[in-house]
Every structure is written in C-alpha cells, then in structure tokens.
Amino acid sequence: MILCVQIEKLGSQLSKLTLLMDKYQRGEPGFADDVLEWLEESEKAMSILRLPEGSEMSVLRGRIMKAAHVSNSTRKVQRQARDIAAAESLERAEAIMRGRLHSSEERLQFFEEKLCEGMTALMLQRPLPEKTLPNMEQLRIVWELLRQEKSTCPLSLYLAASLSPSDRSFILNKVLNRVYHEELGQLPSSESIQ
C-alpha cells in the first residue's frame, strides 16, 4: 500500500467534486450521468489502489439508476429523483474517500515525525553529505547512514517494515528538503560553539 500514491489519486478524484456540485446547483440535466461517470472513475482508482471501500461506489451507482425507475411519474419527477439520489451518493462517496485520504495522510505524517526524530539523532552523530548529488542518490546515501548509525538503525528497520520504498523516499525527501533549506545538514564547528 503506497500511501503517497493514495493521497495523490484520492485527492485528484475529490478535486472534481466542486464542478459536479456546481452542475447540481444550476440544475443541469447531465448531473446524474456525470456523477455516475465520476463514481465509476473513483471505483476504478480505488480498485487500482486495492482499497476495499471502492466496491461501495458501484452500490452508489446502483442507487442512482434505481431512482430513475419511480413508477407512475413524469420524466421531470424521475429526473429530480435521480438527481437527488446522485447528490446523496456523491455525498456518501466523498465521505468514504475523505476518510481514506485522511487516514493515509495521518499515517504518513506519523512516520514523517518518526523520521524527523531519527534525522535529529543522526545529525547529532555525523553531518549529512553536501546537497550536490542528484536527488535519488542523496536519498540513498542518507538512508544508508540511517541504517548504519547505531542510534538510528532500529528506526530504519521500523520504517522499512512499515512503509513501501516509495513512501520512505517520499518522507525522507520532505524531511531532507526542510533540513537543507534551513541549512541544518552540517554539525556546527567547535569554533562557532565557543
């Protein structure tokens, strides 16, 4: 489970909701069809991410299609029923996706904080290499330093067991960017301490 990819894909799908709700507010006739399409896209995205909540998107699509089959009613009433079902389904789908997005963000944030602690311990023991190497090489070297240093080795094992390589690289990159941006990568010289 690659958390950074989940965050990106779910965030991308959720960003489309504003346009759909604008169509609903304007009473556009294609609203329900657009919601059906969005739900199908969301189900596929969640399936690719292997998220079990994605299966609920097909149930929500079924609710919309069922709403159009109101017996003894005019087309206008059927369309209104379908639009209402689409809006309710959209609301439920958003709650499902936002819940998963929030969970993924929290989990990644937890590990990022742990990595910050580890980077602090590492930087107290040795300076980080200069930021002159290509980004992926820099990440590899710093990861190796975390693994080799006695004080940070347990953390590196914990992160390796808990996160995908992509997520580890993602959070390590974020932490290193902050460290290098603040010019914290080098230990102070003994002269500057005095």
Task: Decide: helix, strand or coil at residue 61.
Answer: helix
- Give the end of a domain, one of 51, 82, 106: 106
User: Domain residues for 50?
Assistant: 3-106
**Has residue 100 got a pLDDT over 60?**
yes
- Of 84, 106, 128, the one marking the end of a domain is 106
Residue 130: predicted pLDDT: 82
Residue 70 has pLDDT above 80, yes or no: no
Say yes or no: 93 and 8 in one domain: yes
- pLDDT (0 to 100) of residue 151: 94
Residues 112 and 169 in one domain: yes
Residues 158 and 87 in one domain: no
Query: For residue 61, what are its two tokens?
Result: 């699509």
Give this prediction's pTM.
0.82
Q: Are 15 and 177 in contact (CB under 8 A)?
A: no
Type of residue at 173: N
Are both 76 and 137 inside the same structural domain?
A: no
Tell me, rounded to whole angstroms, the distance of Cα 22 from its chain centroid: 25
pLDDT class for 133, splitting at 50, 70, 90? confident
Query: Looking at residue 182, what is its pLDDT?
Result: 78
The answer to whether the Cα torsion of 59, 26, 30, 18 is positive or negative is: negative
* pLDDT, average across residues 55-62: 94
Together in a domain, 93 and 114:
no
pLDDT tens track for 28-47: 999 999 999 999 999 999 99
pLDDT band at 78 (very low <50, low <70, confident <90, very high): confident
Q: Are residues 114 and 85 in the same domain?
A: no
The pLDDT score that the predictor gives to residue 67 is 87
For residues 121 and 85, state if they share a domain.
no
Residue 17 one-letter amino acid: L
Number of domains composing the chain: 2
Residue 11 sits in the same domain as residue 99: yes
Q: How far apart, in whole angstroms, are the C-alpha atoms of residue 89 and residue 60?
A: 5
Pick from 106, 135, 169: which residue ends a domain?
106
Do 27 and 73 share a domain, yes or no? yes
Helices (H), the chain: 3-14, 17-26, 31-48, 55-67, 75-125, 135-148, 153-162, 165-181, 190-193
Together in a domain, 151 and 165: yes
CA distance 126 to 136: 20
